[in-house]
Structure 1
Amino acid sequence: MTDDLSTGYWDGARRGVLVLQRCTACGHVRHYPTLLCPACHSDTVEPLEASGRGTVHSWTVAHHAFDPAFAGELPYTLVTIDVEEGPRVLARLEPDPADLRIDQPVTIGFAPGAGGTPVPLARPA
């Protein structure tokens, strides 16, 4: 699961912190980890510990487990979050509020998932 591109993200996730990538050439912040900056195509990058704050951009409710490890947790809500640092991040929403809305403030953290792999979780702020 971990490779040279994603090591910073997974190290942060194990500590409960969202780690993004920042281009050292132009400062563009991105997520998910990629080899080249989409803004300037530089391959120089540094990890950036995110604030963990953002707002709901969109969401969907999963009724089908794409991984058997999550079958017992259905249904669950996945939210797309605009984080303060700029990129969008996908996380599972807990608890699952009935009054979820666009632009709702959330915080992002991590919890152990299947096999101990950290899973990003969003909670209403």
Structure 2
Amino acid sequence: MSAPNPAAVPAATPGIIRPMVGRDTAFFWEGTAVGELRIQRCHDCDALRFPPGPSCPRCHSFDQGHVVAAGTGTVFSYVVHRHPPVPGKELPIVIALIDLDEGVRMVGEVADAVPDGGGAEEIEIGMRLQVDFRRIDDDLTLPTWRKA
């Protein structure tokens, strides 16, 4: 039996890693599909929470809703991811921990902060960011961040 001809075997195209969508996170992904950044809010004590979960960490209520965030925030911290490869992404990518103006933190990719390769980055702690939405397909729209 001979080995397959590499030219005859199509190369696998890596796809985007898809998020797990469940009962506690569906509202968030439904929001990104319509261009909204949604944050879970407790109906009983008004506490905001991200990432979302089944009950309020403050009052333990299961009565959860959401608010639409302004989509602005400040870089609390960041990392330049250079290795290992990430399916569907071209490296390097900048991942930031963002303090949203509403008072919760969210992790996200900063799309327009391209590292120059020499150590100097186009991002810094305290920089203002604005959310943007990248439509992947009919079922997935990802929030990304850009310099405000």
Tell me the TM-score normalized by structure 2: 0.75
Q: Distance in 2 between matches of 1:87 and 1:9?
A: 14
Larger Rg: 2
2:32 corresponds in structure 1 to: 13
Q: Output the aligned Cα RMSD.
A: 1.9
Q: Distance in 2 between matches of 1:86 and 1:123?
A: 19
Query: Residue type matched to 2:52 in 1?
Result: P
2:3 corresponds in structure 1 to: none
Listed one character per residue, the Cα deviations across residues 79-100 of structure 1 (whole Å, up to 9, x for unaligned) are 1100011110111102115331
Asked if structure 2 preserves the Cα contact closer than 8 Å seen for 1:37 and 1:43, the reply is yes
SS in 2 for 1:68: coil
Q: Distance in 2 between matches of 1:59 and 1:4?
A: 29
Alpha-carbon shift at residue 103 of structure 1 (Å): 1.3
Q: Which has the higher contact order (CA 8 A, sep 6+)?
A: 1
1:54 corresponds in structure 2 to: 73
Q: Distance in 2 between matches of 1:25 and 1:9?
A: 20
1:40 maps to which of 50, 59, 67:
59
Matched, 1:101 2:124: yes
Asked if structure 1 preserves the Cα contact closer than 8 Å seen for 2:39 and 2:48, the reply is yes
Matched, 1:110 2:127: no
Asked if structure 1 preserves the Cα contact closer than 8 Å seen for 2:85 and 2:91, the reply is no
Query: Residue type matched to 1:124 in 2?
Result: K
Asked if structure 2 preserves the Cα contact closer than 8 Å seen for 1:17 and 1:109, the reply is no
2:105 maps to which of 84, 88, 110:
88
Q: Distance in 1 between matches of 2:30 and 2:85?
A: 25
Higher helix residue share: 1
Q: Percent identity?
A: 31
Matching of residues 21-40 of structure 1 within 5 Å: 21-40=40-59
Alpha-carbon shift at residue 116 of structure 1 (Å): 5.7
Matched residue pairs, number?
123
Higher strand residue share: 1
Matching of residues 53-72 of structure 1 within 5 Å: 53-65=72-84, 67-70=86-89
